[in-house]
Structure 1
Amino acid sequence: MLTVLLYLLIMVLVGGLLFFVASTVFGRGEELPRLPAGTTATVLPARGVTGSDVRSLRFQQTLRGYKAGEVDWALDRLGREIDSLRAQLAERDGGGPPVPAPTDRPGDLE
């Protein structure tokens, strides 16, 4: 039993040593600089968001899902674009108040 534990310990040490040597020799490649605080790599155009823009959105994954700041930013940006488009439609259709869009949330259905 002691021999098996000794072999296991030696295998773990050799594996750790090989990992350390390989990571030292090969490194992780060229590292990108950190993004400034409050910015995100998620990109949407400033105006005229299209369906393909939304479909191509990719968020940075973290341990527990997606990075909340990036998702919040994208949703806020899309919300502003929708509000802008609704205002343009209302202006074109005679200046009346915009008609709220139906929602798909179960709590709103009657």
Structure 2
Amino acid sequence: MFWFMLVALVVVVAAVAMAVLGDGSALKDAEPDRLDDPLPPDRPLARSDIDAVRLPVAVRGYRMLDVDEVLDRLGAELAERDARIAELEASLAGARATLLKDLHEQRPPQEGPESGE
């Protein structure tokens, strides 16, 4: 009886395996998921561009190459914006200094209490 049950179990497992595998198409390697780069190369990134990025998933998390590309692009954009902000702040500080200097030179001298008329 034991041998009969063992043979029946093997037949059932083999039948299920054949049904699932069939010609092997169910377990063929799938094409790797790739990043469909929605980041526009011709203009600076906007918040909506970042929100639209969906990184492809690999076996053990995200694909490092795709993540590195996105992070490199974001890092370059942030560095460029920081440089532009620093440039504009320096220009603004220079304009303020010039304006204060001009206002100080145009102000008439103040008369103090020593002018005893």
TM-score w.r.t. length of structure 1: 0.60
CA distance in 2, matches of 1:55, 1:41: 14
> SS where residue 94 of structure 1 aligns?
helix
Matched, 1:6 2:7: yes
Counterpart residue number, 1:69: 65
Q: Percent identity?
A: 26
User: What residue identity is the alignment partner of 2:82?
Assistant: R
Conserved 8 A contact 2:35-2:55? no
Q: Kindly tell me: are residues 2 and 51 of structure 1, through their superposed partners in 2, closer, same or farther at Cα, counting changes over 3 Å?
A: farther
Question: Which of the numbers 44, 48, 53 marks the counterpart of 1:57?
Answer: 53
CA distance in 2, matches of 1:6, 1:95: 87
> SS where residue 78 of structure 1 aligns?
helix
- Which structure has the larger Rg over C-alpha atoms? 2
RMSD between aligned residues: 3.2
Counterpart residue number, 1:43: 38
Counterpart residue number, 1:102: none
Unpaired runs of at least 5, structure 1: 97-110
Equivalent residues, number: 88
Conserved 8 A contact 1:42-1:59? no
TM-score w.r.t. length of structure 2: 0.57
Residue deviations 1:59-85 (CA, integer Å, cap 9, x gap): 221121111111111111100010111
